[in-house]
Amino acid sequence: MPCMEISLPTIELDKKQKLAQYLTNSFESATGISSEIFAIKFNEYKDNECFVGGKVVHNSQVKSRPYIHCLLYSPRLNKNVKSKLAKEFTDSFIKVFANIDWWPIIHICEHPYDNVAIEGQLLSDTYEHCKGAKFYYDLDDQ
């Protein structure tokens, strides 16, 4: 099950809903994976709760670029799909916040279906289309 966790400053519910919809549409468009199984969790922080290099990076009293970090957990994707996702996810933030300074840091954490368990079973054993599929890259013997 692909999912995303996003750390960002506290924002209004309508902006979260709009961002979630843009990100979900982008994920489905880029990967071809159904949006019905794509989940997003927002981890919001308040003023003075986020630091980079030992200095506060978000404070409503001080103009600074906020820290936004996204972790995308997904099945393995090819480079073209990852490039498209990076652009579309970033564009989603720009559309919602209309602020070029709100660019996220996006980490794409890929996994094969036999590295994820739901309801006590590996996904590779749960879905027919995954049974017998090859999930690992072959490495040279060198």
Domains of the chain: 3-111 (3.30.429.10)
- Which run of H or E residues covers position 81? helix 79-97
The pLDDT score that the predictor gives to residue 43 is 96
The pLDDT score that the predictor gives to residue 1 is 73
Mean pLDDT, rounded, for 11-36: 94
The pLDDT score that the predictor gives to residue 108 is 94
Looking at the DSSP bridge assignments, the partners of residue 11 are: none
For 20-88, where are the E strands, in sequence order?
39-45, 51-52, 55-56, 69-75
Model pTM score: 0.81
Q: pLDDT (tens digit, 9 = 90+) per residue, 57-116?
A: 877 666 677 889 999 998 888 899 999 999 999 999 989 988 777 778 999 998 877 788
CA-wise closest residue to 113 among 70, 59, 76: 76
Q: For the chain, what percent of residues have pLDDT higher than 90?
A: 43
Beta pairing, strands 55-56 & 3-9: unpaired
pLDDT band at 137 (very low <50, low <70, confident <90, very high): low
